[in-house]
Every structure is written in structure tokens, then in C-alpha cells.
Amino acid sequence: MSTRVVINGSRGRMGQALLSCVAADPAVSLAASTDVGDDLQAVLGGCDAVIDFTHATATAGIADLCAAAGKALVIGTTGHDDEACARIAACAKTIPVVFAPNFSVGVNTLFWLTRKAAEILGPDFDLEVVEMHHRLKKDAPSGTARRLAEILAEVRDLDYTKDVMHGREGMVGERTPREIGMHAIRGGDVVGDHTVVFANIGERVELTHKASSRDTFAKGALRAACWATGRQPGLYDMQDVLGLK
Ligand code: NAD
């Protein structure tokens, strides 16, 4: 039997990609599509999982509704503050939640490679993350860039809040070994580019992923919805779905 999904944020760029991918995927069926002004709670009874690609301020309330209804939740939305993340984590005690800044298989491979490269190259390499997205993106840096910097911080025993340097302007002084540089570029219709730079004296390694279609995120989110349905409550990410842990 197919997994019945609600697409929340259905009028958005990702919502539209999800609707077309649902139509092409026999493993899933559309229970409902909702956006601003629709009653999400009213359609939860007829679904197995909700897929949310909306806005950071909306997700915690959506998670509360899913927890009350006992429905699996896939969160693609990015840019949440600590309070929203804590509310989502609380809901994950009663329902399965897949919360991932990026659902593409390629980017999840980039996460894995970034960890390996940081471990192998060691503390002599300077770390910088560069991301580029379309001109309409609202949050910065991207959730994916943040996750890349978090992975680098974990390996190098750094603190994301204290050690990430967002852009540089004026007399900022020489680069310190503890810095993780973070740079967000915006323009045109770029779906999502991410590069992690490991730079040392005499050599440099760059790991790059470029997404050219939103379908890659949509297909990953649908795969996550099927995976999460019927699973034990918990806070999962795409690495769990892909078995990369
Ligand atoms: P978008 O602005 O095109 O679409 C967002 C949609 O959500 C809009 O139709 C809007 O009306 C709707 N919305 C806003 N608040 C809502 C609410 N409270 N209830 C229901 N609907 C609501 O944005 P987008 O490009 O589709 O991106 C959406 C989110 O997904 C962003 O946070 C983006 O960063 C993220 N994103 C994540 C991934 C991933 O793989 N995790 C990939 C692409 C985008």
C-alpha cells in the first residue's frame, strides 16, 4: 500500500516539485495539499505522514499538530531558531520526525565526505564554507551550509556559535586557526551550490555539490516519508534514512 502524504507549503517552489514527484511515484499518494489559509489539522486523519516545506516560524506549530494526531513528520524547512528546534525535538518523543536541511543523496554524501576529509586533513587546514542560492531565498546561511559547518566544528572540537565567521568586512585581522568562514551568495535561479574549502600552505581541497533541480530534494523527502511511516518515535535525519550512520 502506498504512503499517504500531506504536502504542506504546496504553493511554494518545493511544494510544486513535491506535487509533481508524488504524481510520478507509485510508493506514495497525495492525501492533501495545504498552504497558508488551509486547515492542516482537518486533513491529518487521512494521511500517514506530513511533509513540511514552509517557513521556519511555522514548523513548530505543525509539529505540535502532527504529534497530537500521531502522524509522521518530514521537515525540509530551514532557518529555525533554538526555541523552534527544541519544540520539534519535544514532538519527536511521540512521533517519528525526519528533520534534514537537505534531502538530496548527493548532499548527504557531501556531509559524509566533509567529515572524512576534516578527520584526514587535520588542524593545519583552514576551513571555509561557501553556498549560493537563488535570489528569492529568505534565510542565510542555508541549512545545508550550517550543517556542513557543524560537521567541521564537531571534528575540530570547535563551537558553531562562537567559531563561525559570517562573511568578512573591514579590518577583521588575520584569519585565526579556530575560524570556520561562512559565505552566502545570492542570485538568479541557482537551486543550491555548496563548497567546503580545506586550505593549507601549498595545497587546497574543495568539495562541491551543485543541485540543478528541486526534484532531487522532493524525491528524498518522499523517500523519508515512506521510511518514517510506522517507525518508532524519534528525531532522525537523512543520514538515518540512507543508512549512512
Ligand atoms: P517558497 O517560499 O517558494 O514556499 C514556501 C511555501 O510555504 C509558500 O507557498 C508559503 O505560502 C507556504 N507557507 C508559509 N507559511 C506557511 C504556513 N504557516 N502554513 C502553510 N504554508 C505556509 O519556499 P521554498 O523554496 O519552497 O522553500 C521552503 C523551505 O524549504 C525553505 O525553508 C527552504 O530553505 C527549504 N528547503 C529545504 C530543502 C531541503 O532539502 N531540506 C530544499 C529546498 C528548500
User: Percentage of the chain with pLDDT > 90?
Assistant: 98
Binding site membership of 74 for ligand 1 (Cβ less than 6 Å) = no
Q: What CA–CA distance (Å, rounded) separates 73 from 50?
A: 5
The predicted structure's pLDDT at residue 16: 98
Distance of CA 223 to the CA centre of its chain: 14
pLDDT at 244 over 90: no
Catalytic pick among 137, 183, 194, 219: 137
Q: What is the pTM of this model?
A: 0.89
pLDDT 10s digits, 53-82: 999 999 999 999 999 999 999 999 999 999
Domains of the chain (ranges, CATH numbers): 3-99+214-241 (3.40.50.720), 105-211 (3.30.360.10)
Q: What is the pLDDT of residue 245?
A: 79
What per-residue confidence (pLDDT) applies to 1?
A: 83
User: What pLDDT, in 10s, does the model give residues 131-166?
Assistant: 999 999 999 999 999 999 999 999 999 999 999 999
Whether 210 is catalytic: no
pLDDT digits (tens, 9 = 90+) for 1-52: 899 999 999 999 999 999 999 999 999 999 999 999 999 999 999 999 999 9
**Does ligand 1 have an atom closer than 6 angstroms to the CB of 54?**
yes
Contact 239, 136 (CB under 8 A): no
Cβ–Cβ under 8 Å, residues 148 and 110: yes
